Amino acid sequence: MTDTVAPEQLVFIALQANSDTISIIEAIMADNPRAVLNEYPAMVKIDAPGRLVIKRETIEEALGRSYDLREIQLNLISLGGSVDESEDEFILEWKRV
Amino acid sequence: MSVRAITPDYHGDFKDTEDKYHGQRLLGLSWDHNGLYTNPFCIPVAPDMPFAALADQVIPKLFGPHPDFSGIDWSKVTWYRGATAFTPDRAKTLDENGIKHKALIRFALPSPGPFARSLGVAA
Amino acid sequence: MSATEELKPVKKLNLKENYSLLTRGLGWEPTYHTKAAVYPMMAFEGIKIHDWDKWEDPFRLTMDAYWKYQGEKERKLYAIIDAFQQNNGQFQVTDARYVQALKVFINGVTELEYLSHRGFCILSREFEGVGPRIAAQMQSIDELRHAQTQIHAISQYNKYFTGMSCFPYQFDHAWYLSIPKSFFEDAVSSGPFEFITAISFAFEYVLTNLVFMPWMSGAAFNGDMATVSFGFSAQSDEARHMTLGIEVIKFLLEQDPDNLPIVQRWIDKWFWRGYRLLTLLAAMMDYMLPKRVMSWSEAWEIYFEQNGGALFVDLARYGVRMPKYWEVTVKEKGLVSHQLWSTFYQLRHAVAFPVWLPSDDEMDWMSAKYPDTFDKYFRPKYTYWKELEAAGTPYIVDTLPVLCQTCQWPTLFAEPDDPMQTCHRESVYKGETFHFCSDGCKDIFDYEPEKYVHAWMPVQQILQGNCFLPGVDPTAPDFNPLVEALKYMGIKPGIDGGDFATCQDARNWEEWTKRAASMYEAMATPPVATAAE
Ligand SMILES: [Fe+2]
Ligand SMILES: [Fe+2]
């Protein structure tokens, strides 16, 4: 069996809550309908079952400018899940190989 | 099972052997289910101190402030040396009672006193 | 090269190609030395690596991007630190008790960043593969940045508050700081594969979320913009380090089946060591943040039971199981912060920060957050201690504790199923008795007694008469090893440690801010209204 997602385990990304990340958080929530947004002082933690995809294009639309996904480093606090990063997508997931 | 090290047969020096305590040795003391003291005490003692001196002088100094202490019936107390129950001989020295360097001596009451119970120790 | 060739546009490399040039192209085959001679630390731990090129780099961060984003992080951080200093931010935090948490941080945590910097520096030389060497090098630079930014941010507090000015000295001397110090030195003195499993995986991936998320969010909640900013700035690097941690585990397990038992033992050991270390954080979260975001118990549920649990479900395909004794951590989650705070209170004259009993409001918060344990086991003790304080006969213990030979905490933890009974474990090795706080710590010692017999145990060192400042004669008849040890540890009676209500920081806070030193109590000296001229 390849690449079957174990859906019940949560992946997460935590970001600083600031004016840069408002649009990024919006974009992530739009691209991941099953994601849950938890808000804490100065930070947010987005949990999603199995998989979370962060798409450059959606963030660019939300920000109204071009965006290099590596910029997420500036506001990233933590994450859970295996990372797969390309120019277009930053994916967090728990896969079964 | 032993350490893997870049140096073959690595062994660290023993840092706390008895010879480093100027004629004394370390003794740990603890009162089971006392409810108040959060950790066992560690004191230096002379190996030839009689057990009676430990029981009558040292232990009251350490545990005397506990409100249940004065009500303890010492004839009903169980003593432990490490994990093993033992009956100390008051007339003999700590060493003769088998209390070697770094031993931990505990005492336990048959049931907790009223103060320990008020702190949440189960009766 | 001809002019036309020079003008030909260069094909833009994609991220993966770019990163692989950095991490594969930079290595070379040694010709006049054997590989074993060039990388002498690769074999002794028993780890077998067959193909370093199978190393996967999750964050494909190239040097140009690394410096660009790190530079930008620094600019953002220092803008905030500048604003914080210019606005006297040190007086905008909730109260002077919050400041005591920073004291624990600068004396006990910042040095770990520096030790981590050194550890990864060593790895960036020792690993045979170029990919992990580059990753270790970047992490080494990150960790140095963390130490520096923490020192810079907290230096503003140091201008006004006690107990922060000699942090490297205290880290090396104060008895309770041997707990974090020995943790990291144990890792640095192991071997490259154990170090990276210990720090990148067990500590950073599984445990540091608790430091940098709920605690730093708590710093923000208490108005400390400088601390939350260095915390989150550090954690943005940590996310990269954590990812390194999980890749290390996968790489080691995919390389050879013989690696599994070694790696599993390291996971067991370092999870337990890291967990015990975090007891300090548990007490900081539950007791030292005047305004609280979540309890230690809730944080443990989210970040270990839920997020850590998901990780170990994923790793099961490699044969890795949950760290040994994880069930004990769940049984202890309602106890450890209170047990440690009680111990600090009991020993408050011997620590370098003042200690207090929680106010009635805070005890109500604890009752709500710890319904199964707080009212039953801890509220009665605090109430009794408050009565003694009110009667003018405060409770104090001036006898040294028995320490755990592995984690170096006083053996203050309870039997997992009997919260009012101290857990005692001991081993006899070559005729000498060693004490432990738990089965987890006893197992670690029993596997490597050759290493832990050599531990510098503060209580033992004090009682051997080794802790005194130059000029003191330990053979003098009036030599008091306990009094001299406090001086040696940089703990000044009456200034550091003792009761919060009467400490210098509390008095200064009220004088300078005209606000109560504890947000839950009235001012010790109400401000006198100045008569109009
Ligand atoms: Fe760090
Ligand atoms: Fe321990």
What residue in A sits closest to C62 (Cα-Cα)?
Answer: A70
Q: Are B40 and B74 in contact (CB under 8 A)?
A: no
Q: Up-side HSE of residue C431: CA atoms within 13 Å toward CB? A: 4
| Subunit contact B33:C377, Cβ cutoff 8 A | no
Does position A1 have pLDDT exceeding 50, yes or no?
Answer: no
Provide the pLDDT confidence category of residue A2 given band limits of 50, 70 and 90. very low
Give C267→chain A minimum CA distance, Å: 18
Residues C385 and A49: their CA atoms lie apart, in Å, by 47
Q: What is the model's pLDDT at position C1? A: 43
Which H helix or E strand runs over C414?
strand C414-415
- When pLDDT is cut at 50, 70 and 90, the band that residue C9 belongs to is low
Residue C284: both structure tokens together: 């900081």
Q: Of chain A residues 55-84, which have a CB less than 8 A from chain C?
A: 68, 70-71, 73-84
Q: Which CATH number goes with the domain that contains A66?
A: 3.90.56.10
> Is C221:C291 a contact under the CB 8 Å cutoff?
yes
Domain count, chain A: 1
What is the helix (H) or strand (E) element at residue C38, kind and residue range? helix C35-38
Q: Are A75 and A15 in contact (CB under 8 A)?
A: yes
Q: Which residue has the tokens 């990163």?
A: C19
Distance B107 CA to ligand 1 centre (A): 45
C45, B4: Cβ pair inside 8 Å?
yes
Contact of C402 with chain B, judged by CB distance below 8 Å, is answered with yes
A48 falls within a domain: yes
Q: In order of start, what are the domains of chain B with their CATH numbers? A: 23-118 (3.10.20.560)
| C482: contact with B, CB 8 A cutoff | no
Whether C220 contacts A42, CB under 8 Å: yes
Do the bridges between strand A76-80 and strand A95-96 make them parallel or antiparallel, or are there none, so unpaired? unpaired
Instruction: Give domain status of residue A3, yes or no.
Output: no
Tokens of residue C393, six digits: 């006969």
Chains B and A touch (3+ CB pairs under 8 A): no
Q: Which residue from C83, C430, C27, C70 is spatially nearest to C92, judged by alpha carbons?
A: C83
Which member of C228, C238, C314 has the closest CB to residue A94?
A: C314
Chain C nearest-CA distance from B14, in A, is: 5
Subunits that touch chain A (at least 3 Cβ pairs < 8 angstroms)? C
- Alpha-carbon distances of C391 from A63, A81, B36, rounded to whole Å: 63, 55, 18
Listed in sequence order, the residues at least 6 apart from C359 whose beta carbon sits closer than 8 Å to its beta carbon are C518, C520, C521
Give the C-alpha separation, C495 to C70, whole Å.
39
Provide the residue range defining the domain that includes A39.
10-93
pLDDT digits (tens, 9 = 90+) for C432-488: 999 999 999 999 999 999 999 999 999 999 999 899 999 888 888 888 888 899 999
Average pLDDT of the residues of chain C:
91
Is some CB atom of chain B closer than 8 A to the CB atom of C185? Answer: no
To which residue do tokens 């859906």 refer? Answer: A7
The residue that leads in pLDDT, C473 or C404, is C404
Within 13 A of C379's CA, how many CA atoms are on the CB side? 17
In tens, the pLDDT along C142-176 reads 999 999 999 999 999 999 999 999 999 999 999 99
Ion ligand 2: residues, CB within 5 A, are C 404, 406-407, 437, 441
| Residue A5 within any structural domain of the chain | no
Query: Does the structure show a pLDDT above 80 at C4?
Result: no
Model confidence over C387-396: pLDDT tens digits?
999 999 999 9
Cβ-defined contact of B37 to C44 (cutoff 8 Å) = no
Least confident of C203-212, C332-341, C365-374: C203-212
The architecture in CATH of the region C53-356+395-488 reads Orthogonal Bundle (1.10)
A19 within some domain: yes
Average pLDDT over every residue of C345-359: 94
Two structure tokens written together for A89: 């997508």
Please, are residues A54 and A84 in contact by the beta-carbon 8 Å criterion?
A: no
Tell if the CB–CB gap between B35 and C453 is shorter than 8 Å: no
Evaluate if residue C250 carries a pLDDT over 60.
Answer: yes
Chain C residues within 8 A (CB-CB) of chain A? 14-16, 58-61, 65, 69, 72-73, 76, 209, 212-214, 216-218, 220-221, 228, 232, 235-236, 238-240, 242-243, 246, 293, 306-307, 309-311, 313-314, 317
Contact C320, C259 (CB under 8 A): no
Q: According to the model, what pLDDT value does residue B74 have?
A: 96
Q: Which chains touch C (3 or more CB pairs under 8 A)?
A: A, B
B45 bridge partner residues = B25
What is the whole-number distance in angstroms between the Cα of residue C447 and the centre of ligand 2?
Answer: 14
Q: What share of chain C is helix, strand, coil (3-state, %, to 5)?
A: 60, 5, 35
- Out of B6, B12, B28, the one facing C450 most closely (by C-beta) is B12
**In the structure encoding, which two tokens stand for residue C19, read together?**
């990163």
Interface membership of A1 toward C (CB under 8 Å): no
Write out pLDDT tens, residues A11-54: 999 999 998 899 999 999 999 999 999 999 889 999 999 899 99
Of B5, B36, B40, the CB nearest to C402: B40
Is position A18 within any domain?
yes
Chain C interface includes A40 (CB < 8 A): yes
pLDDT of the residue at C527: 59
Per DSSP bridges, beta strands A76-80 and A43-49 are unpaired
Rounded to the nearest 10 degrees, the angle between the axes of helix C110-126 and helix C178-188 is: 0
The pLDDT of C92-115, averaged and rounded, is 95
> Which two structure tokens, joined as six digits, stand for C530?
């100045």
Query: Where are the domains positioned within chain C?
Result: 53-356+395-488
Checking if the pLDDT of B29 tops 80, the result is yes
Read off the DSSP letter of residue B56. I
pLDDT tens-digit readout, B113-123: 999 999 999 98
Question: Residue C532 — pLDDT band, cuts 50, 70, 90?
Answer: very low
**Could you give phi then psi for residue C60, rounded to 5 degrees?**
-90, 70
Asked if the model's pLDDT at residue C242 lies above 90, the reply is no
User: Do the domain assignments include residue A71?
Assistant: yes
Assess contact for C44 and B5: CB atoms under 8 A.
yes
What is the rounded average pLDDT of the residues A61-78?
90
Is residue A4 situated within a structural domain? no
